[in-house]
Structure 1
Amino acid sequence: MPTCEVCQQPANQICGGCKLVYYCSRPHQKLGWREGHKFKCCAFKIEYSDTLGRHMVATRDIQQGEMILKEKPAVIGPRITCPTVCLTCGKNLDPPEFGDYYKCSKCNWPMCGPECESADFHKPECKAMTDRKYKCDIKYQGPNKVQAAYCVISPLRVLLMKHSNPLQYENIMNLESHLEDRINTPLYTILRANLVTFIVQVLGLPFDEETILKVASIFDTNSFDVRSPDGSRRLRAIYLTASMMDHSCTANTRHIFIGDDFHLAVIATVPISKGDLITATYTQSLWGTLDRRKHLVTNKFFDCECDRCKDPTEFGTHLGNIYCSVCNNPFAQNTSNRGSMLVSTNPLDEEAPWKCEKCEHSILSKQMVWGNNALKQDLQKLNKTAPNEFEDFIEKYSQTLHPSNHLVVQAKLALVQIYGNYKGYSLTELPNALIRRKVDLCHELLEVADKLEPGWSRFRGTLLLELQAAMTMKTKREYETGKITKAGAQDELMESLVLLQEATNILRIEPHMKDTLEAKINELTYLLDATAEEEVQ
């Protein structure tokens, strides 16, 4: 029988967090927590290997939807370049009413107002600048003007920790930097001229060039892109523990940011077994393998060799594939090969040729890259509020791109977001044909989500939310026009409710989704009750 962690007597109360220790009573559980278990209580451990470096491993079975980690940022600050933001709260500053932004009375950096200026968060950097009589010269130059001056702030905050919080400084400096790989890049040539000059010559801080650039490189290697739900703040932050998660292109977690202080919460999207790696995605899961691996090697300095990257069809989604121009030629005599795709002969080698699955036709990798980039540019030029342009893109390249090619997927996702949500295309305004189109698009994208972002991913949750809304409107219209019976309407509304309940399980932890989900559940429940009452009458 297990024994109590505190008194070593027989115990049957297991710790609800780590599921590893037992207690004989509630008082001993509280005592054990105060005496140190709170620092060890988690569902994972950090291990090291020569191939993976430091990584996170599950110490027990983890349930789908379980919060594995909640962590506050070790340091948070502006991105290298960004619009004008407040140094304290990170909010994008609106165009000023009277010529210029509110400025800190000491260092002259743009701020929200007196409250942010006087916040403790801003004081160390403000003092470092005012001690040297430095004044920021950012002025209002029009909306969304990108400022390069912010590149100094996040590294400065880490460097100032050497005296204010030496333990945190050492923890950050012990993270992987890959400075040796970045040092001669164009960006770091600019940082050497701007960041190093600012820290050493302008502020007179006692740091050498290598240390300053190492801090910048630690940010580039380990930081998370932090966004507020309303889009008013976009920052970058380092989370010491979360940075230990290994990458996978089909990760078993997702993360969200909670509160104004941006605590990071890591959520299991699928059940994770004891001993399994706990993984995150450091790239975009809806990009093809060529783009994902290029992004990872350029920004994180490693070559991904996960199962998805090894599979030339990306788990059968054909996300990065195109149709073979020979087999799918409308004048080809042999029609048995129609639908065959060009796939990479070695997905882990970006220079490997691409060959047809059925015939001998092949093209060079650089031809694939050129074509991919050209079509990406076409997609980026489309009006983000004009669904016809996305529909035309899908139709135009239907003989070239697989229906779940990543460019087509992005176009379909844009349509799902426009239909039912944008002005002029709300669900009440959409004709029946476009309601059905939205339903079909959601089903197609859910098939992709099941393979590339399995489980309770944000992608799946938002698609389910869009699908149930369209299905509910479709059912309501068909019932009102007599196309389906009351019983049929009840069945379809129950199907929509099942989808909504799953979407709620996935998204309810998102801070900005609670009211939306409750309203949708109440609305659907009302429709179910209304049709039930009519049937009784």
Structure 2
Amino acid sequence: MPTCEVCQQPANQICGGCKLVYYCSRPHQKLGWREGHKFKCCAFKIQYSDTLGRHMVATRDIQQGEMILKEKPAVIGPRISCPAICLTCGKNLDPKEYTSKWDYHKCSKCNWPMCSPECENAEVHKPECKAMTDRKYKCDIKYEGPNKVQAAYCVISPLRVLLMSQSNPLQYENIMNLESHLEDRINTPLYLVLKANLVTFIVQVLGLPFDEETILKVASIFDTNSFDVRTADGTKRLRAIYLTASMMDHSCKPNTRHIFMGDEHHLAVIATVPIAKGDLITATYTQSLWGTLDRRKHLQTNKFFDCECDRCKDPTELGTYLGNIYCSICNNPFSPNADGRGAMMISTNPLDENVPWKCERCDHFILSKQMVWGNNALKQDLYKLNKSDPKQFEEFIEKYSQTLHPSNHLVVQAKLALVQIYGNYKGYSLADLSNALLRRKIELCHELLEIADKLEPGWSKFRGTILLDLQAAMTVKTKRDYESGKLTKAGAQDELMESMVLLQEATNILRVEPYMKDTLEAKINDLTNFLDATAAET
């Protein structure tokens, strides 16, 4: 029988966090927590290997939807360049009228734009403010129109880390021990600019005792390890370093997702699928809906490693053909594959971007540079489309239907845009949609869910949001069909129950997302009421 961690007597109360430690009573569980278990209680451990470096491994079976980690940022601040934001809360600043001219509220000491006197006096701003005012430095950012990007913000986040060397040396050391890849970045155009701007500001303007290598190393640690922090309401976008979460290994088919919680931007890591004891706990450092060429290029350029996950090694991307095109020789109505689709061009070695691409069926091949050029050209076509005009996205899909597989990443992005427009944009609300467009939305949702099942399986946010859209469209369709006599009462109830199943799954996935709880509860109540009303009709 297990024994109590505190008194070594027989125990049957297991720790709900790590599920590795037992206690004989509630008081001993509280005592054990205070005496140190709170620092060890987790479902993972950090390991090191020559191939993976530091990485996170499950120490027990982890359930789907379980929160594995909740962590406060070690440091948080503005991105390298951004519109004017408050240095304390990160809020995007709208100009306010002062003395007959447009400008921002400014810190009374260092003159940086802030949102309020309260943020001006916050603890996070005090060290940097003192460093600047001690040298009589005044920020000169002025309002120059909406969304004007300011490069001056590149100094703030690195400065906050450097100042920790005095205010919090242990945290400073922990951050400085993270991987930087400075040797790979040092001669890039960005870092040549940082040498001129960031280093000059720290050394000459502020007179701080740091050498060029240390300053640039801090900047590189941010670029390698920071998370892009975006609030759910879209008003704030920052970057932050989370010491423990940065240990997660990358995968293009991850088993977790993360969200940001509260005003302090805690990062919560959530299991999207069941994770077995001993398995790697993984996150993605790129976009899951990009093709292999784009994902690996992004990782090489920004994170300085070559991904060799199972998805990257598979020329079909787990059967989705997300990065593939049709063979121009074989793709005609008279020579389809046995499954009815045209033959695809696939990379002869997905881990080498310089190898040729060859048809699955014939001997036709194209050079890698042709594939890259074509991919980039079609991306530019897609990015030029009006984001609120569904006709342009439908025309894009039709225009390239003989070139791009239906689940090519560019087609998928166009379909995702359509799902977001149909039912959500002005003039295209669910009530406004014709029956044909309503069916189109449902069809698109099903197609995207098939992609999600292969690339982001389980409780991913992508799956949850598509389920929510699908459920809403299906419910409206059921109402229309029932009211027009196309559906019997029993048929309508069956379809509504199907919608309820989808909504319940979406709720399981999205209920931890900020601002979603009330929305999900309202949708469940509306659907329940409609079910009840249908059942009551005679």
Task: Measure how far apart 1:138 and its partner are.
Answer: 0.3
> In 2, Cα distance between the equivalents of 1:335 and 1:384?
34
Q: Residues 341 and 276 (structure 1 numbering): CA distance in 2 closer, same or farther, change over 3 Å?
A: same
| Superposition pairs of residues 224-373 of structure 1, within 5 angstroms | 224-329=227-332, 334=335, 339-373=342-376
> In 2, Cα distance between the equivalents of 1:114 and 1:21?
48
Q: Residues 33 and 287 (structure 1 numbering): CA distance in 2 closer, same or farther, change over 3 Å?
A: same
| Superposition pairs of residues 25-104 of structure 1, within 5 angstroms | 25-98=25-98, 99-104=102-107
Counterpart residue type for residue 28 of structure 1: H
8 Å CA contact retained: 2:336, 2:343: no
Counterpart residue type for residue 88 of structure 2: T
Q: How many residues align?
A: 533
Task: Measure how far apart 1:10 and its partner are.
Answer: 1.0
> In 1, Cα distance between the equivalents of 2:11 and 2:208?
56
Task: Measure how far apart 1:12 and its partner are.
Answer: 1.0
Query: 1:16 — aligned with what?
Result: 16
2:411 is paired with a residue whose SS is: helix
| Superposition pairs of residues 470-489 of structure 1, within 5 angstroms | 470-489=473-492
> In 1, Cα distance between the equivalents of 2:374 and 2:337?
26
User: 1:278-299, CA deviations, whole angstroms, 9 ceiling, x for partnerless residues?
Assistant: 0000000000000000000110
> In 2, Cα distance between the equivalents of 1:380 and 1:447?
24
The answer to whether 1:216 aligns with 2:219 is yes
Counterpart residue type for residue 180 of structure 1: E
Query: 2:443 — aligned with what?
Result: 440
Query: 1:514 — aligned with what?
Result: 517
User: 1:456-504, CA deviations, whole angstroms, 9 ceiling, x for partnerless residues?
Assistant: 0000000000000000000000001111001100000000000000000
The answer to whether 1:531 aligns with 2:495 is no
> In 1, Cα distance between the equivalents of 2:347 and 2:454?
19
Task: Measure how far apart 1:375 and its partner are.
Answer: 0.3
Q: Give the aligned CA root-mean-square deviation in angstroms.
A: 0.9
Counterpart residue type for residue 6 of structure 1: V
Counterpart residue type for residue 413 of structure 1: L
> In 2, Cα distance between the equivalents of 1:312 and 1:76?
38
Task: Measure how far apart 1:96 and its partner are.
Answer: 2.5
1:97 is paired with a residue whose SS is: strand
Counterpart residue type for residue 44 of structure 1: F
| Superposition pairs of residues 414-425 of structure 1, within 5 angstroms | 414-425=417-428
> In 2, Cα distance between the equivalents of 1:335 and 1:477?
38
Please list every run of at least 4 consecutive aligned residues from structure 1 whose deviation after the TM superposition is greater than 2 angstroms.
Answer: 95-98, 333-338
Q: Residues 335 and 68 (structure 1 numbering): CA distance in 2 closer, same or farther, change over 3 Å?
A: closer
Query: 1:498 — aligned with what?
Result: 501
8 Å CA contact retained: 2:332, 2:342: no
Query: 2:467 — aligned with what?
Result: 464
> In 1, Cα distance between the equivalents of 2:134 and 2:10?
62
Counterpart residue type for residue 159 of structure 1: L
- Unpaired runs of at least 5, structure 2: none
> In 1, Cα distance between the equivalents of 2:337 and 2:420?
37
> In 2, Cα distance between the equivalents of 1:445 and 1:34?
48
User: 1:402-430, CA deviations, whole angstroms, 9 ceiling, x for partnerless residues?
Assistant: 00000000000000000000000000010
TM-score, with length taken from structure 1: 0.98
| Superposition pairs of residues 382-393 of structure 1, within 5 angstroms | 382-393=385-396
1:236 is paired with a residue whose SS is: strand
Counterpart residue type for residue 51 of structure 2: T
Task: Measure how far apart 1:336 and its partner are.
Answer: 5.6
User: 1:271-314, CA deviations, whole angstroms, 9 ceiling, x for partnerless residues?
Assistant: 00000000000000000000000000110010000000000000
1:68 is paired with a residue whose SS is: strand
> In 1, Cα distance between the equivalents of 2:8 and 2:219?
49
User: 1:351-381, CA deviations, whole angstroms, 9 ceiling, x for partnerless residues?
Assistant: 0100000000000000000000000000000
1:45 is paired with a residue whose SS is: strand
- Unpaired runs of at least 5, structure 1: none
> In 2, Cα distance between the equivalents of 1:334 and 1:451?
28
User: 1:181-221, CA deviations, whole angstroms, 9 ceiling, x for partnerless residues?
Assistant: 00010000000000000000000000000000000000000
